[in-house]
């Protein structure tokens, strides 16, 4: 049975935006920015946008109809799926480059599908399973391709995007659970999610005594703020997709996982001075798209 077209569209919007966002972040890193600085600026920007929209639409007490348990679900998702995941993701961008990092993070569908089956009892068809295998094979080709950051990187550096993939997968499963079982709207959920991430990242900066976190060139602030706007739109679209009756994690997550294709294209044209896009990266990105196509042909 074919799924509603809005599931596909809402899932592909984050793929495109998260395909472009690492390119912007890489520019910020190349200009002297750091991963914690990037994480903080992004979450400040997108959480501000969400709360302004929430207050404008629902008044000064927009969470009054939500229980403490509901609030807790999305705060937990924000801590793991945004704070931890985003720190690891920006660390990966700095070490291996935007294209390879994006590929590593897109192993997320594998983590997310396993978690969704185990925790949410979601069904997984043969097509979904085959598609995930093809998608992961494409990611393996991407990781082995001699590309990415021109300064070079070690295989152990892939632990950063893989850690981000696991954190994002946990976050998506928890978000789907919350949106499926509570009265929270996508906007309420994403605002709570990013608030938790902001508190967690600020706490991390204080605990590590990172007073230098904002000591970066002025140019980096604008680039990371732009990343925050892109992330805000992508997250809202993702939450909207997960809130739909047919927005299963095993479908939404692999579709958003096609971001490496877009990152590869954007990096080829916009990051030639700091990254190398090889044939292997292109081949791997193509396999990712084929895998996603198989997954959606249900």
Distance CA 45, CA 194 (A): 10
Torsion of CA 50, 198, 170, 182, to 10 degrees: -50
In this prediction the pTM is 0.83
What's the mean per-residue pLDDT of the chain? 86
Whether 109 and 34 have beta carbons less than 8 Å apart is answered as no
- pLDDT at position 295 is 65
Nearest to 92 by CA among 24, 18, 160: 160
Hey, where are the domains in the chain? 5-296
- How would DSSP label each residue in 21-64? HHHHHHHHHHTT--HHHHHHHHHHHHHHHHHHHHHHHH-S-TTT
Phi, psi of 275 (to 5 degrees): -135, 160
Give residue-wise pLDDT tens across range 218-230: 999 999 999 999 9
- pLDDT at position 126 is 81
- pLDDT at position 21 is 94
80 or 273, higher pLDDT: 80
Q: Which residues contact 11 (CB under 8 A, 6 or more apart)?
A: 237, 238, 241, 247, 251, 252, 255, 256
Nearest to 260 by CA among 35, 20, 34: 20
- pLDDT at position 40 is 94
Distance CA 200, CA 78 (A): 9
- How would DSSP label each residue in 100-149? HHHHHHTTHHHHHHHHHHHHH-----HHHHHHHHHHHHHHHHHHHSS-EE
Whether 25 and 228 have beta carbons less than 8 Å apart is answered as no
């Amino acid at each position: 049975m074919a799924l509603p077209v809005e599931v596909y569209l809402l899932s592909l919007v984050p793929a495109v935006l998260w395909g472009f966002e690492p390119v912007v972040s890489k520019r910020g890193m190349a200009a002297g920015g750091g991963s914690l600085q990037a994480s903080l600026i992004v979450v400040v920007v997108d959480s501000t946008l969400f709360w302004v929209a929430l207050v404008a639409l629902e008044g000064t007490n927009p969470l009054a109809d939500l229980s403490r348990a509901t609030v807790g679900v999305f705060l937990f998702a924000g801590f793991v799926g945004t704070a931890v995941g985003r720190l690891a993701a920006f660390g990966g961008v700095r070490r291996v480059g935007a294209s390879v990092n994006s590929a590593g993070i897109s192993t997320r569908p594998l983590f997310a599908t396993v978690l969704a089956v185990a925790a949410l009892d979601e069904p997984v068809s043969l097509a979904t399973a085959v598609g995930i295998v093809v998608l992961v094979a494409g990611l393996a080709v991407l990781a082995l391709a001699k590309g990415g950051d021109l300064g070079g990187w070690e295989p152990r550096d892939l632990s950063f995007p893989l850690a981000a993939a696991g954190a994002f997968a946990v976050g998506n499963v928890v978000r789907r659970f919350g949106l499926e079982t509570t009265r929270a709207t996508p906007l309420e959920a994403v605002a709570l999610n990013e608030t938790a991430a902001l508190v967690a990242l600020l706490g991390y900066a204080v605990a590590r005594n990172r007073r230098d976190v904002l000591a970066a060139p002025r140019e980096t602030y604008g680039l990371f703020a732009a990343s925050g706007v892109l992330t805000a739109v992508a997250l809202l679209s993702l939450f909207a997709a997960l809130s739909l009756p047919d927005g299963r994690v095993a479908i939404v997550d692999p579709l958003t996982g096609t971001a490496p294709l877009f990152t590869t294209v954007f990096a080829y044209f916009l990051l030639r001075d700091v990254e190398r896009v090889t044939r292997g990266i292109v081949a791997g990105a193509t396999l990712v798209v084929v895998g996603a196509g198989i997954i959606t042909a249900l």
